[in-house]
């Protein structure tokens, strides 16, 4: 009885059907009432309890561009650099053909895959060793793709900065390419942190990747344990997670179990075959949506309530 009364008084003030972006045909939800409940928690909790965790490749970059050109992945940008030795490309392709099928093998258990992934990233680092290399090469290639970020990415990152929401861009790819693209797109604000694999140099020569290695299966908040960023976000228990691969949904693993998380999945390839898994994995599935409109709409609701609260406080102190 008491419980029913409580539900009555805490009735959500926002209803999913009143949020137009979530009512679009290409926006799918397995459990809209769960999304509605969490959105209300987010709105009540305000920006100071929020954090955002996003994948980079094909989550911040587009899965489909208007002119049909393919956007390279962060490793792809590096591989396109002219000064890399000829053997680098051939050897790196060989590694890709060996390890990529293991990475996506639906039957192999994850602990077994982890060993192979560590092997892949280690060998890939070893290939990127012992020759001179200049970051400007990555910058030049990345500059061609600074307009290949999702529509309204600039506005989205401006929203996150204005609201002071710590934003983690997580990539098991190459951090040098990620940062270069974000910088050149003018979205690398102080609240944005990129956790990824960064090139390391020794005596003026390339020397593989810096530690810790970020691979597909440790790409989650457990690798942040004890870091400065962890200290910044560990009390922020309202989390938006965004990704395009099923594994991206686990990026917030390691945060307290009591956290409220909305997982947004961008689905583009093999829509029918993937739909079921994406629906079970992400709270909101966006089919061929090349914009940041849905996450922006969530932030707008949070900001609106925040402003109302601030106005009320100002008036009560007058």
- The answer to whether 86 is a known catalytic residue is no
For the CB of residue 200, give the shortest distance to Mg ion in the complex, in Å.
24
Partner whose binding site includes residue 36, from ligand M7G, Mg ion, none (CB under 5 to 8 Å by kind): none
Residue 191 binding ligand M7G, by CB under 6 A: no
What is the total count of residues that contact ligand M7G (CB under 6 A)? Answer: 22
| Residues 57-76, mask of contacts with Mg ion (x by CB under 5 A) | xxx-----------------
Residue from 55, 159, 248, 283 carrying the catalytic annotation: 55
For the CB of residue 7, give the shortest distance to ligand M7G in the complex, in Å.
40
Residue 156 binding ligand M7G, by CB under 6 A: no
Residue 244 binding Mg ion, by CB under 5 A: yes
Among 96, 217, 229, 268, binds ligand M7G (CB under 6 A): 96
- The answer to whether 93 is a known catalytic residue is no
User: What is the SS3 assignment for the chain?
Assistant: CHHHHHHHHCCCCCCHHHCHHHHCCCEECCCHHHHHHHHHHHHHHCHHHEEEEEECCCCCECCCCCCCCCCCCHHHHHHCCCCCCHHHHHHHHHHHHHHHHHHHCCCCCHHHHHHHHHHHHHHHHHHCECCCCCHHHHHHHHHCCCCCECECHHHHHHHHHHCCCCEEEEEEEEHHHHHHHHHHCCCCCCCEEEEEECEEEECCEEEEECCCCCCCCCCCHHHHCCCHHHHHHCCCCEEEEEECCHHHHHCCECECCCCEEEEEEEECCCHHHHHHHHHHHCCEEEECCCECHHHHHHHHHHHHHHHHHHHHHHHHHC
Residues 262-281 contacting ligand M7G, CB under 6 A: none
| Residues 242-261, mask of contacts with ligand M7G (x by CB under 6 A) | ---x----------------
Residue 73 binding ligand M7G, by CB under 6 A: yes
| Residues 107-136, mask of contacts with ligand M7G (x by CB under 6 A) | -------------xx--x------------
Residue from 18, 25, 31, 57 carrying the catalytic annotation: 57
Residue 216 binding ligand M7G, by CB under 6 A: yes
Catalytic positions, written as ranges: 55, 57
């Amino acid at each position: 009885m008491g419980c029913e009364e409580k539900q009555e008084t805490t009735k959500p003030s926002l209803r999913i059907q009143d949020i137009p972006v979530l009512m679009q045909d290409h926006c799918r939800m397995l459990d809209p009432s769960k999304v509605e409940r969490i959105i209300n928690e987010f709105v009540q909790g305000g920006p100071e309890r929020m954090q955002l965790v996003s994948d980079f490749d094909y989550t911040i970059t587009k899965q489909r561009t208007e002119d049909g050109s393919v956007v390279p992945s962060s490793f792809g940008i590096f591989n396109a650099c002219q000064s890399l030795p000829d053997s680098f490309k051939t050897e790196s392709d060989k590694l890709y053909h060996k390890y990529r099928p293991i990475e996506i093998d639906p039957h192999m258990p994850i602990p077994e895959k982890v060993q192979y992934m560590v092997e892949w990233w280690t060998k890939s680092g070893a290939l990127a060793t012992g020759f001179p290399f200049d970051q400007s090469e990555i910058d030049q290639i990345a500059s061609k793709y600074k307009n290949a970020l999702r529509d309204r990415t600039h506005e989205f990152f401006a929203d996150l900065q204005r609201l002071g929401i710590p934003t983690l861009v997580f990539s098991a790819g190459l951090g040098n390419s990620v940062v270069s693209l974000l910088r050149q797109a003018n979205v690398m604000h102080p609240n944005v942190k990129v956790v990824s694999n960064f090139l390391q140099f020794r005596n003026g020569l390339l020397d593989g990747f810096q530690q810790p290695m970020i691979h597909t299966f440790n790409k989650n908040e457990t690798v942040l344990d004890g870091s400065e960023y962890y200290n910044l976000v560990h009390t922020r228990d309202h989390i938006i997670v965004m990704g395009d691969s099923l594994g991206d949904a686990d990026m917030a693993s390691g945060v307290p179990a009591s956290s409220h998380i909305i997982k947004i999945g961008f689905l583009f390839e093999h829509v029918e075959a993937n739909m079921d898994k994406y629906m079970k994995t992400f709270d909101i599935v966006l089919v061929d949506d090349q914009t940041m409109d849905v996450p922006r709409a969530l932030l707008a609701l949070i900001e609106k309530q925040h402003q109302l609260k601030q106005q009320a406080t100002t008036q009560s102190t007058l």
